Amino acid sequence: MNYLISGATGFVGTHLLNHLRGGGQGVEVISRRPNVGCDWTMESLLPAVLQADVVVHLAGAGVMDAAWSPARKLELERSRVETTALLARACVEASRQGHTPRLVSASAVGYYGPHAPGEVQEESSPPGEDFLAQLCVKWEGALSVAQEAGVPVSTVRIGVVLGADGGALKRMLLPFKLGLGGPLGSGRQSFPWIHVQDLVRLIEFIAQDGDRAGIYNGVAPGCVDQRTFARTLGRAMGRPALLPAPALALRLLLGERSTLLLTGQEVRPSAALAASFEFEHPLLADALVDLL
């Protein structure tokens, strides 16, 4: 199969690129100029889309990379919604020309908004009302033009992706190595995680069959709370995990972004399990041992 990937230089995109090429798949990437908004055009995208069996859309500005000023919030939206809409339209145009690729787009578990532990969120659960939830609603809504035209569309609502070479785990390693690790805030908030290799395998699994179109939660079955995550990481590293990061300090340091760390949602990968996808790392302890 031939894949076309946006966001291929990011953490997840790099792993997906290596996984697919390692499996003998053809892969092309969609690039854009750094520090520029969406500089793609239909003319630049369509030839590549016409050659692709699957288009995987992972591009989007990092939600933790800068303070959420009004301008930054607009950038977060544009980098997701505008690019998604353009790719969706390119897939529709390719379909009109006799070639219908499958479209797999990232979203996030932030779609569900903050929830108390025990309030399990599945793919059919309604969206939340906070900024991130509504961002995800707009992000996913940009796919509608492709869905209405009969393009097989899948959305992967991704949780916290664990990998030693990037993402949240890499940022946590140093404080734990220094003996300064611990839970964030109360530690009671849910922490929906997934091993990066399971995520790229799930994306490939979905892409392989047009009948698998739909919404998937990109999380492991073994969701834990943040306190359990910190303790499990500490054990895996042979380091203590006794120093909590106070919620007030995180709010002062990060502002509105602190909601990503201090709240969570217990998310179940119901669609993936129903489709008989097999997680290689369903349990946190095993996943961390593999990564570390």
Q: What is the pLDDT of residue 40?
A: 73
Task: Please name the residues in contact with 69: beta carbons below 8 A apart, sequence gap of 6 or more.
Answer: none
- Position with higher pLDDT, 108 vs 164: 108
Domain-located, residue 204: yes
Domain-located, residue 20: yes
Give residue-wise pLDDT tens across range 227-264.
Answer: 999 999 999 999 999 899 999 999 999 999 999 999 99
Here the tokens at position 129 are 């009302």
Domain-located, residue 136: yes
| Maximum pairwise Cα distance, the chain | 60
Of the pLDDT bands very low, low, confident and very high (cuts 50, 70, 90), residue 32 is: low
Average pLDDT, stretch 264-282? 97
Q: What is the pLDDT of residue 43?
A: 82
Q: What is the pLDDT of the chain when averaged over all its residues?
A: 94
Whole-angstrom distance, CA of residue 41 vs CA of residue 196: 30
Whole-angstrom distance, CA of residue 214 vs CA of residue 104: 9
Number of domains present in the structure of the chain: 1
Q: What is the pLDDT of residue 112?
A: 98
8 Å CB contact between 222 and 284: yes
% residues pLDDT > 90 (the chain): 88
Domain-located, residue 168: no
Q: Is the pLDDT of residue 34 over 80?
A: no
Q: What is the pLDDT of residue 35?
A: 47
Here the tokens at position 6 are 């946006």
8 Å CB contact between 192 and 235: no
Domain-located, residue 253: no
Of the pLDDT bands very low, low, confident and very high (cuts 50, 70, 90), residue 129 is: very high
Domain-located, residue 186: no
Q: Which residue has the tokens 């035209």?
A: 149
Whole-angstrom distance, CA of residue 160 vs CA of residue 239: 22
Q: What is the pLDDT of residue 39?
A: 62
Q: Is the pLDDT of residue 38 over 60?
A: no
Report the CATH number at residue 209. Answer: 3.40.50.720
Q: What is the pLDDT of residue 44?
A: 83
State which amino acid sits at residue 243: L
C-alpha gyration radius of the chain? 19
Give residue-wise pLDDT tens across range 149-171.
Answer: 999 999 999 999 999 998 899 99
Average pLDDT, stretch 175-180? 92
Q: SS3 letters for 54-101?
A: EEEECCCCCCCCCCCCHHHHHHHHHHHHHHHHHHHHHHHHHHHCCCCC
Domain containing residue 68: 2-158+194-219+268-279
Q: pTM value?
A: 0.94
Q: What is the pLDDT of residue 96?
A: 96
Domain-located, residue 181: no
Domain-located, residue 236: no
